[in-house]
């Protein structure tokens, strides 16, 4: 079975994840962990998104400069290159990592002569206020509410389309996101953050929403199959819980988790039926908190993306510790160095494979799968 094997120690897991994310985004028909957002040139696009979930604003010129204008109109524009959670990419796009509601405002992309290319007005709605409901538990989404600001304003949820079912050929779940908007009669709706930003009044109804329902889909289309990452040594800490992060997963995409081949569902979680794991609603299930050892697997857009093995269950590790004889099962210092070395070699190898993939694997060959091979 072709697969990527990551043998990462917990501290290096984030570096590893970054590299693997890059590689996976090359190998799979899913882009990076962020949501790409584009707006036609010379237009202003106004939209609502969620805080805490990475987004990538596209701008069609290279060497673009980005400026941010906050909600308060007397604020001066800030160059995005100095904002700590933003990164201007060489292709002109702007990556906003872990945006907060304070990142709500106007983003302008300019070319090197200062001409505006495109602009985005983005309301990052507070994920901590997310209202989650499950249709199969008869939970109701928020209802419309009229504001009494004098223009017959209605606060309501504007729903995105349903995402795909989280899995296929078996019962899955699909979700859709909804954003808080205000609409006056005969006017275009406006994201709540912009409409109410200056009023500074607290409205309890100002919440983004996530709605979930059970679904069934047959498998169709293009599944790469076989290209996934194995993290082979998570361990449960003293507190008996740990968090697993599914690479490429995001609240904006279908995510599916299994523990020992049994699906973990929002329905069970919300109804409190199964407390052996917890999918973080604020990341749409990108993060899973686990309380017992098992083999965990995550799927994004119905593709198997990663498998997490508990530290004891891996043949390789068992073989290693057995070869050192009894009484030496804990990895010693030399072991750690060796592991570090293996990790570096692995990274170099992965980068080479990545380069190769860039060159070779992106011509669509019908029926042919992209395969990243690294055999243990
Ligand atoms: C809520 O308000 C929106 C915007 O005015 C409208 O499109 C929608 O039909 C309303 N929903 C209900 C249940 O009244
Ligand atoms: C909860 O989930 C775990 C692992 O998925 C499973 O072993 C256990 O049987 C489940 N318990 C219930 C009550 O469904």
pLDDT at 373: 26
Q: What are phi and psi of 375, to 5 degrees?
A: -100, 135
Q: Whose CA is nearest to atom 1 of ligand 2?
A: 274
Query: How far apart are alpha carbons 278 and 175 in whole angstroms?
Result: 17
Decide whether any atom of ligand 2 lies within 6 Å of the 241 Cβ: no
pLDDT digits (tens, 9 = 90+) for 132-167: 999 999 999 999 999 887 888 999 999 999 999 999
Residue 345, C-beta contacts closer than 8 angstroms, at least 6 positions apart: none
Give the count of alpha carbons within 13 A of 194, CB side only.
19
Q: Characterize the bridge pairing of strands 78-79 and 116-125.
A: unpaired
**Among 276, 294, 297, 298, residue to substitute to test ligand 2 (most atoms within 8 Å of Cβ):** 276
CA of 292, closest atom in ligand 2: 4
The vertex-56 CA angle with 55 and 58, nearest 5°, equals 145
Handedness of CA 45, 51, 55, 60 (dihedral sign): positive
Residues β-bridged to residue 67:
79, 108
Q: Which ligand is nearest to the CA of 262?
A: 2
User: Two tokens at 36?
Assistant: 């790409």
Burial of 160 (0-12, 13-18, 19+ CB in 10 A): middle
The mean predicted confidence, pLDDT, of the chain is 78
CA of 189, closest atom in ligand 1: 4
CA of 143, closest atom in ligand 1: 13
Decide whether any atom of ligand 2 lies within 6 Å of the 15 Cβ: no
Tell me which of 2.60.120.620, 2.60.40.10, 3.30.70.920, 3.40.50.170 is the CATH number of domain 35-125: 2.60.40.10
- Which residues have C-beta atoms less than 6 Å from ligand 1? 144, 154, 156, 183
Let me know: does 161 contact 153? Beta carbons within 8 Å.
no
* Highest mean pLDDT out of 16-20, 259-263, 356-360: 259-263
CA of 259, closest atom in ligand 2: 5
Decide whether any atom of ligand 2 lies within 6 Å of the 259 Cβ: yes
Residue 350 confidence class, pLDDT cut points 50, 70, 90 = low
Q: Whose CA is nearest to atom 2 of ligand 1?
A: 156
Q: Which ligand is nearest to the CA of 153?
A: 1
Structure-model confidence comparison of residues 110 and 324, the more confident one? 110
**Among 257, 261, 262, residue to substitute to test ligand 2 (most atoms within 8 Å of Cβ):** 262
- pLDDT reading at 361 higher than 80: no
Least confident stretch, 120-129, 204-213, 350-359? 350-359
Least confident stretch, 248-257, 343-352, 353-362? 353-362
- pLDDT reading at 214 higher than 90: yes
Residue 317 confidence class, pLDDT cut points 50, 70, 90 = very low
Q: How many CB atoms lie within 10 A of CB 271?
A: 13
- Mean pLDDT computed over 196-222: 87
pLDDT at 375: 25
Least confident stretch, 32-36, 192-196, 250-254? 32-36
Q: Which ligand is nearest to the CA of 142?
A: 1
Structure-model confidence comparison of residues 71 and 28, the more confident one? 71
- Mean pLDDT computed over 1-24: 45
Residue 246 CA to ligand 2 center (angstroms) comes to: 20
Q: Which ligand is nearest to the CA of 143?
A: 1
Query: How far apart are alpha carbons 41 and 166 in whole angstroms?
Result: 34
Decide whether any atom of ligand 2 lies within 6 Å of the 262 Cβ: yes
pLDDT digits (tens, 9 = 90+) for 90-139: 999 999 999 999 999 999 999 989 888 999 999 999 999 999 999 999 99
Decide whether any atom of ligand 2 lies within 6 Å of the 274 Cβ: yes
Query: How far apart are alpha carbons 129 and 83 in whole angstroms?
Result: 25
Residue 255 CA to ligand 2 center (angstroms) comes to: 19
pLDDT at 237: 64
Residues β-bridged to residue 172:
215
- Mean pLDDT computed over 170-191: 95
pLDDT digits (tens, 9 = 90+) for 218-243: 987 666 555 677 777 677 766 688 99
- Mean pLDDT computed over 73-91: 89
**Among 272, 274, 277, residue to substitute to test ligand 2 (most atoms within 8 Å of Cβ):** 274
pLDDT at 40: 80
Residue 75, C-beta contacts closer than 8 angstroms, at least 6 positions apart: 69
CA of 275, closest atom in ligand 2: 1
Question: Which residue in 127, 206, 215, 212 sits closest to 176, CA to CA?
Answer: 212
Q: Whose CA is nearest to atom 11 of ligand 1?
A: 144
- Mean pLDDT computed over 346-375: 43
Ramachandran bin of 239, using left for φ above 0, alpha for ψ from -120 to 50, beta for the remaining angles: alpha
- Class (C level, CATH) for 4-30+227-360: mainly beta
Q: What share of the chain has pLDDT > 90, as a percent? A: 51
pLDDT at 337: 38
Domain span(s) for CATH 2.60.40.10 in the chain: 4-30+227-360, 35-125
pLDDT at 151: 82
Least confident stretch, 108-112, 225-229, 256-260, 316-320? 316-320
- pLDDT reading at 31 higher than 90: no
pLDDT at 36: 87
Residue 172 CA to ligand 2 center (angstroms) comes to: 17
Helix/strand/coil (H/E/C) assignment for every residue in the chain = CCCEEECCCHHHHHHHHHHHHHHHHHHCCCCCCCEEECCCCCCEEEEEEECCCCEEECCCCCCCEEEEECCCCCCCCEEHHHCCCEEECCCCCEEECCCCHHHCEEEEEECCCCCEEEEEEEEEECHHHCEEEEHHHCCCCCCCEECCCCCCCEEEEEECCCCCCCCCCCCEEEEEEEEEEEECCCCCCEEHHHHHCCCCCCCCCCCCEEEEEEECCCCCCCCCCCCCEEEEEECCCCCCCEEEECCCCCCCCCEEEEECCEEECHHHHHHCCCCCEEECHHHCCCEEEECCCCCEEEEECCEEEEEEEEHHHCHHHHHHHHHCCCCCCCCCHHHHHHHHHHHHHHHHHHHHHHHHHHHHCCCCCCCCCCCCCCCC
- pLDDT reading at 354 higher than 90: no
**Among 141, 152, 154, residue to substitute to test ligand 1 (most atoms within 8 Å of Cβ):** 154
């Amino acid at each position: 079975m072709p697969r990527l094997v990551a043998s990462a120690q917990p501290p290096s897991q984030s570096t590893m994840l970054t590299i693997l994310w890059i590689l996976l985004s090359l190998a799979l028909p899913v882009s990076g962990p962020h949501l790409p957002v584009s707006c036609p040139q010379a237009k202003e696009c106004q939209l609502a998104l969620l805080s805490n979930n990475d987004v990538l604003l596209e701008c069609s010129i290279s060497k673009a400069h980005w400026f941010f204008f906050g909600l308060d109109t007397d604020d001066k524009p800030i160059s995005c290159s100095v904002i700590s959670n933003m990164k201007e990419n060489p292709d002109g796009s702007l990556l906003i990592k872990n945006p907060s509601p304070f990142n709500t405002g106007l983003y302008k992309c300019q070319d090197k002569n200062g001409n505006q290319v495109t602009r985005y007005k983005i309301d990052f709605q507070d994920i901590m206020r997310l209202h989650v409901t499950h249709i199969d538990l008869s939970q109701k989404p928020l209802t419309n509410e009229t504001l009494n600001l004098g223009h017959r304003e209605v606060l309501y949820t504007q729903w995105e389309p349903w995402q795909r079912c989280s899995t296929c050929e078996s019962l899955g779940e699909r979700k859709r996101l909804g954003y808080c908007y205000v609409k006056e009669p005969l006017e275009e709706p406006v994201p709540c953050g912009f409409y109410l930003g200056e009023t500074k009044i607290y409205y309890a109804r100002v919440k983004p929403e996530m709605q979930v329902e059970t679904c069934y889909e047959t498998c169709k289309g293009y599944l790469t199959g076989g290209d996934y990452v194995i993290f082979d040594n998570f361990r449960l800490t003293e507190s008996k819980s740990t968090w697993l992060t599914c690479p490429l997963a995001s609240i904006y995409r279908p995510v599916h988790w299994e523990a020992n081949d049994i699906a973990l569902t929002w329905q069970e979680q919300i109804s409190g039926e199964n407390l052996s794991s917890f999918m973080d609603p604020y990341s749409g299930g990108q993060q899973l908190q686990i309380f017992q050892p098992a083999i965990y697997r995550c799927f994004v857009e119905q593709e198997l993306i990663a498998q997490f093995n508990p530290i004891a269950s891996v043949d390789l590790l068992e073989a290693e510790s057995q070869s050192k004889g009894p009484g030496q099962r804990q990895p010693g210092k030399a072991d750690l160095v060796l592991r570090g070395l293996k990790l570096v070699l692995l990274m170099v190898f992965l980068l080479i494979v990545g380069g190769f993939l860039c060159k070779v694997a992106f011509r669509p060959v019908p029926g042919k799968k992209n395969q990243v091979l690294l055999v243990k």
